Amino acid sequence: MKKLLLFLLCALLSFTAFSQEKKFRPVQINFGFPLSTINVKKAKEYTNAFSINLLVGISKNERSLALAGISNVIANNATGLQIASVSNYIGNAGYGIAVAGVTNINKGSYNGIQVSGVYNYSGSGNGIAVAGVANMSKGSYNGIQVSAVYNYSGSGNGIAVTGVANMSKGAYNGLQLSGVTNIAGDVKGLQFAGVMNIAKKVKGVQFATILNVAEESDFPIAFINIIKNGKMGVALSYDNMNNTMLSFRSGGKYTYGILGVGYNNKVNDGSNIVAEAGYGIHIPITNWLEINNEFKATSLGFSNDKVCYNASYLLAPSFTFLNHFNVFGGANFNYLYSNYVNSDDLFPNKCLWEKDNSDNKQRMFIGYQIGLQYVF
């Protein structure tokens, strides 16, 4: 951000520093022949402090303001403000603010703010890049990237927000927030995606609805977590509502996801199939003992117009034996909702709270769950 502030000082000093150049103009105006202060064929040889162009502005350097009806084409460096209805092109380094209706392209480093309707590109960057479609920095980008579809950087420090995908070829330190997917090398910080996160070594948190993939990640939060140094396994469990479940459990050292399917022999109308999904937290105690905290949602099958949902929290010690086996069991707190009024067999005799009306039943109660897990 210091570099962003320095462009103001550079603009003030530009008259002194560059008036000594042989081909320097304080002001360039180009509205087309004969309303022009410069020979268009020689325009790319000149450095301008202020440049105003009806269509296309061409110059070697710009030091304060470059304004064009269509495009600014700056062969070398630009400092200050560049505005064009279609595009800004800078062949080397840029400092300041670039605003374009379609695209900003900076072959070197851009330090400041880039705003475009479609696409921003820089060799590397420091500052803020906002685009209607995509931001791309071939090298490192330090700052904030915001786009509707895609953000890319060779490596990054800061915040990347997009509707579809964030990708950092190298390491990323900070926050990646995406509607679909985040991809990075090593990550220090937070990956938050609507569907999937992919990284190498993660020091922080990965959160996704469906899938996290990493070589190392202690805090992956998703229904499925493929972590090279983590844990994956299958568990067979039974609870007080007569749900017999087979679940896939996967995660890192401290957090894991749960996806399961099972059978309930108390359901006497419609399907007996039960499905569950949730998240868990390990609290390691010793090499053979940990405390599991599980937050799950369970759907008990009736017919399409008859539903029964249970939300639960389970506190269960888990004991490891023979390296690959865990036995666990404990008490759970449940909230059960059913719009099938003849489902009394599912409810325990004693509840902490209950509410009935003509079209649904609600219960809160304490139950239990026991199970055996095989860890791959």
State how far the Cα of 254 lies from the Cα of 256, in Å rounded to an integer. Answer: 7
- Looking at domain 231-375, does it have CATH number 2.40.160? yes
CA 227 to chain centre: 18
- Convert the pLDDT of each residue in 65-102 to its tens digit: 999 999 999 999 999 999 999 999 999 999 999 999 99
**Structure token digits, residue 255:** 């957090």
- Convert the pLDDT of each residue in 115-124 to its tens digit: 999 999 999 9
pTM for the model stands at 0.87
Torsion, Cα 160 163 165 170, to 10 degrees, reads 0
The confidence score (pLDDT) of residue 23 equals 82
- Convert the pLDDT of each residue in 116-162 to its tens digit: 999 999 999 999 999 999 999 999 999 999 999 999 999 999 999 99
State how far the Cα of 112 lies from the Cα of 61, in Å rounded to an integer. Answer: 17
Residue 247 has pLDDT above 90, yes or no: yes
Domain boundaries, the chain: 1-121, 133-220, 231-375
Residue 42 has pLDDT above 80, yes or no: no
User: Exposed, middle or buried: residue 54 (CB in 10 Å: 0-12, 13-18, 19+)?
Assistant: middle
DSSP assignment letter at 266: T
The confidence score (pLDDT) of residue 254 equals 97
The confidence score (pLDDT) of residue 16 equals 45
The confidence score (pLDDT) of residue 102 equals 98
The confidence score (pLDDT) of residue 30 equals 80
